Amino acid sequence: MTRLFLFIATNIAVIALISITFQILGIEGLLAANGVDLNLYALLVMSAVIGFGGSFISLAISKWMAKRSMGVQIIENPAHPQERWLVDTVAKQAENAGIGMPEVGIFQSNTVNAFATGMSRNNALVAVSTGLLQAMTADEAEAVLGHEVSHVANGDMITMGLMQGVVNTFVIFLSRIIGFFVDRVILKNERGFGIGYFISSILAQIVLSFFASMIVMWFSRRREFRADEGGADLAGKHKMIAALKKLQGDQAEDLPGEFAAFGINGGRPTGLRALFMSHPPLEERIAALQRSA
């Protein structure tokens, strides 16, 4: 809860700073001088409701979506020793990490991957692919599970949800401001919402979303190093390094949608695309672990 309160307080301060900046720059006065009756504070609140609302709804239904869209089969009564090992390993790691027992599941995929999702540290899901179970040794799979349990223990799901909510808020807010500015100040439209507002706000939202995604993915890549460290703590550093080296030989792509940020494998970032990858290069992750004490 401390993480949540601090994060929200920080972003309220950022929103307040933007409001003060708008006043200092005279943007409110400029809009008013051109007949724009716009309440910036109301627009900020509306943008925050839309931005955070979508993010939190997505987070709240993430487990349900994983089961529906990826066909994750939850292990309720282990049917064979491998399933029993999966459940027992996650239970042990969850206890060591100080979190509630996540649901454990398997999804059909030839790629070597796994992910964690859920609304909170004590209401999470950890799932592994059939390809991972076939390709990895028990030690390597244990490290992957430790990585995913660390995502849960670090509160990465809620933190990423809040981060996405913040950038969504600013994208919506600033794109509307640009739309009003173009429509009323540049095109001198004096009534209602003109075509300039709709076109410019849509274009601004596309461009701002482009840069916002870069920010969110940069933050996601930082979290992966922490999850690797957590996996090393829970399973052993040599096991975590071995698991990452095994992933180097797999050609996995990102998991679909929001699950990509919480997978163990994030594909192969190259060129400009690297700025939009949820995971850093495996070589960097291995080197970071090798440097750690």
Between 1-10, 67-76, 129-138, 227-236, the lowest mean confidence (pLDDT) is in 1-10
- Counting Cα atoms < 13 Å in the Cβ hemisphere of 110 gives 1
High-pLDDT (> 90) share of the chain, %? 35
Per-residue pLDDT tens digits for 75-112: 999 989 999 999 999 999 999 999 999 999 999 988 88
Residue with more model confidence, 253 or 222: 222
Residue with more model confidence, 288 or 249: 288
Query: Where are the domains positioned within the chain?
Result: 1-69+142-293
pLDDT score at 280? 86
Residues 46-61 have a mean pLDDT of 81
The CA–CA distances, whole Å, from 132 to 85, 101, 108, 266 equal 14, 21, 10, 14
How far apart (Å, rounded) are the C-alpha atoms in residues 80 and 217?
A: 38
| 224 pLDDT more than 80 | yes
The residue length of the chain stands at: 293
Residues 217-246 have a mean pLDDT of 92
Q: Is 140 labeled as catalytic in the residue annotation?
A: no
| 27 pLDDT more than 80 | no
Residues 59-74 have a mean pLDDT of 86
What type of residue is 156? Answer: D
Residues 52-79 have a mean pLDDT of 86
Cβ 113 vs Cβ 255: under 8 Å: yes
How far apart (Å, rounded) are the C-alpha atoms in residues 152 and 262?
A: 9
Per-residue pLDDT tens digits for 124-152: 999 999 999 999 999 999 999 999 999 99
CB count in 10 Å sphere of residue 62:
23
Residue with more model confidence, 54 or 133: 133
Residue 160 — pLDDT band, cuts 50, 70, 90? confident
Q: Where are the alpha helices (DSSP H) in 106-194?
A: 130-135, 138-153, 156-180
pLDDT score at 254? 54
Given the residues 140, 142, 148, 229, the one annotated as active site = 148
How far apart (Å, rounded) are the C-alpha atoms in residues 184 and 160?
A: 36
Q: Which of 114, 150, 146 is nearest to 130 (CA)?
A: 114
Q: What is the pTM of this model?
A: 0.78
pLDDT score at 63? 87
Cβ 205 vs Cβ 171: under 8 Å: yes
pLDDT score at 130? 93
Phi, psi of 227 (to 5 degrees): -65, -35
DSSP β-ladder status, 114-120 and 123-129: antiparallel
How far apart (Å, rounded) are the C-alpha atoms in residues 152 and 269?
A: 25
Q: Which of 161, 86, 181, 84 is nearest to 118 (CA)?
A: 161
| 191 pLDDT more than 60 | yes
Residues 52-74 have a mean pLDDT of 85
DSSP β-ladder status, 123-129 and 73-74: unpaired
How far apart (Å, rounded) are the C-alpha atoms in residues 51 and 37?
A: 23
Residues 260-270 have a mean pLDDT of 56
The CA–CA distances, whole Å, from 111 to 53, 178, 210, 267 equal 33, 44, 28, 10
Token duo for residue 39: 């309440």
How far apart (Å, rounded) are the C-alpha atoms in residues 184 and 181?
A: 6
